[in-house]
Structure 1
Amino acid sequence: MSKINQPTNQKRLTNVAVVRLKKAGKRFEIACYPNKVTQWRNKIETDIDEVLQTQKVFSNVSKGEFAKMADLKKAFDMDDEPEICKLILSKGELQVSEKERAAQLDGMFRDIATVVADKCVHPVTKRPYPVTMIEKSMRAMHFSIKPTKNAKQQALEVIKQLKETETLEIQRAHMKLRITVPGNEGKRVRESIRKLALQVDEDTFDDDLEMTILVDPGSYREVSDLVSVQTRGKGQVDMISLKEVQEGEETL
């Protein structure tokens, strides 16, 4: 019986998730393991071999047809297929069914709302919002999910839009810091620290400067660098709490 050989420019794969990128008038696809694409994009999975079924670029995964090298060079200005695979993995569109896509978007919507609820409070009561209230506000302002961005990145955009549209009274929960600076160095940095603080709970100076302040989480590095540089490493910044909140959840 004669043997039927599969063409060398073809490789059929099963149980595969396809990521597609159209570039220079051509379609390029890579074959990935199910559920691994999102994990790679969210930096949960870092081993590319756990994501790609093969480090080859296809013109059509379902037919097992490899992309032509000339097309790759024209579209990507290189012929390094592993690197091209990473580009497609990063920028391409994951091909899923409508049912799968809806489930993924619902899951990401919930994840984004959870991050926002964890990071934010009502600006007056300082109480956190329940996730369901964040979800309701996201729907009210018609927030559009971007599948290629992770939940944390999009949560920051949600916070920004909630403030701009005044859909919900919200602010980032403040971080509480204790700062200790010895001797004359304390006099040098005292006013600079106060300018960065949203609130000063304690400010005493005997032999050493001791301050307890609330800052926006985004200002932590600036405070830490200021104390380190201005005191030549003699000052100390300790985080008392990552977020200052009142007990209980905010209600409508």
Structure 2
Amino acid sequence: MLDNAVLAILEKFGERYEIVVDPDNALLYKQGQKKDFLNILAAEEIYSNAKKGERHTSAALKKVFGTDDVFQIAQLILNEGELQLTTEQKRKMHEEKRKRVVALLMQECIDPRTGAPHTQMRIEQALEEAKVHVDNFKSAEEQITDIIKKLIYVIPIKMEKVTVAVKVPAAYAQKAYGTLRSQTVRKEEWAANGDLIMLIEISPGLQGAFYDRLNKLTGGEVQTKLIGK
């Protein structure tokens, strides 16, 4: 094995299938960021025990996978199996996933006492206090509900959308229409004078950016009002 290579492992029908891969390219491929399989395999072999150099026979591979093509089997192992990560990869992945979780909590949740989103610092402190484990192999979206269930014991927090009434003058209505429709529209109405009136559902943490965008599109002439949750 190469010094910097790692294993990808698949267990199938009671047998173990291992490939030796470049850690960075293999991770990019498994995450869908690398589409081709170039420069991934460090050794063009399918092992039963890579450390001991024990390989599967061609006949054994054909029996299980229907082929003995190393690249076809290796892709399946990497897609369906477990990729061993380096210490640095684990650290970096954890940092990135934790940042995404914090950003999502700020975007989607509010303090029910005030109706405002929590600050980044408060959410990070709450994650520590609640001893929340962030799973590196699940998306932030998949974990967010379970994380909130733990956070409610240390801070008041609730996932909720807010409703905003928006009125855009006729002169800017077409220009702003796409931005408005990018959110959840509860009601849309065109006034006799051409003004556009909408009720928009939006994540609390996106309000600031949403208002800024509308103000730029309308020269500051848009009218908005937070009307409820």
Normalising to structure 1: TM-score of the pair? 0.55
Give the partner amino acid of 1:72. Answer: L
Aligned residues: 190
SS of 2:77's equivalent?
helix
Corresponding residue number in structure 2 for 1:76: 65
Corresponding residue number in structure 1 for 2:130: 140
* Equivalent residue for 1:126, pick from 116, 122, 127: 116
Correspondence 1:86 to 2:72: no
For residues 24-57 of structure 1, give each alpha carbon's deviation from its aligned partner in whole angstroms, at most 9, with x where no partner exists.
1211111111233332232233332133334542
Distance in structure 1 (CA, Å) of the matches to 2:29 and 2:106:
23
Rate the CA distance shift 1:39–1:177 in 2: closer, same or farther, 3 A.
farther
Identity of aligned residues (%): 21
Give the partner amino acid of 2:27. Answer: T
Distance in structure 1 (CA, Å) of the matches to 2:33 and 2:201:
29
Rate the CA distance shift 1:166–1:132 in 2: closer, same or farther, 3 A.
closer
Correspondence 1:110 to 2:98: yes
Question: Does the 8 Å CA contact 1:178/1:213 hold for their aligned counterparts?
Answer: yes
* Equivalent residue for 1:35, pick from 20, 24, 27: 24
1:18 Cα shift? 0.9
Question: Does the 8 Å CA contact 1:120/1:128 hold for their aligned counterparts?
Answer: no
Question: Does the 8 Å CA contact 2:101/2:144 hold for their aligned counterparts?
Answer: no
Distance in structure 2 (CA, Å) of the matches to 1:139 and 1:75:
48
Rate the CA distance shift 1:144–1:205 in 2: closer, same or farther, 3 A.
same
Superposed CA RMSD in Å reads: 4.2
More displaced stretch, 107-116 vs 21-30: 107-116
Structure 1 gap segments, 5+ residues each: 1-11, 181-192, 218-241, 248-252
SS of 2:144's equivalent?
helix
Rate the CA distance shift 1:141–1:29 in 2: closer, same or farther, 3 A.
same
Question: Does the 8 Å CA contact 1:37/1:51 hold for their aligned counterparts?
Answer: yes
* Equivalent residue for 2:143, pick from 139, 142, 158: 158
1:15 Cα shift? 2.3
Give the partner amino acid of 1:197. Answer: V
SS of 2:18's equivalent?
strand
Corresponding residue number in structure 2 for 1:210: 196
Distance in structure 2 (CA, Å) of the matches to 1:84 and 1:131:
46
Distance in structure 1 (CA, Å) of the matches to 2:163 and 2:47:
49
Give the partner amino acid of 1:133. Answer: I
Rate the CA distance shift 1:148–1:74 in 2: closer, same or farther, 3 A.
farther
1:10-89 counterparts in 2 under 5 A? 12-89=1-78
Rate the CA distance shift 1:102–1:85 in 2: closer, same or farther, 3 A.
closer
Corresponding residue number in structure 2 for 1:7: none
Distance in structure 2 (CA, Å) of the matches to 1:73 and 1:20:
18
Normalising to structure 2: TM-score of the pair? 0.60
1:16 Cα shift? 0.8
SS of 1:50's equivalent?
coil
Rate the CA distance shift 1:35–1:243 in 2: closer, same or farther, 3 A.
same
Question: Does the 8 Å CA contact 2:110/2:158 hold for their aligned counterparts?
Answer: yes
For residues 187-230 of structure 1, give each alpha carbon's deviation from its aligned partner in whole angstroms, at most 9, with x where no partner exists.
xxxxxx9xx635x6x8442265723342357xxxxxxxxxxxxx
SS of 2:26's equivalent?
helix
SS of 2:206's equivalent?
coil
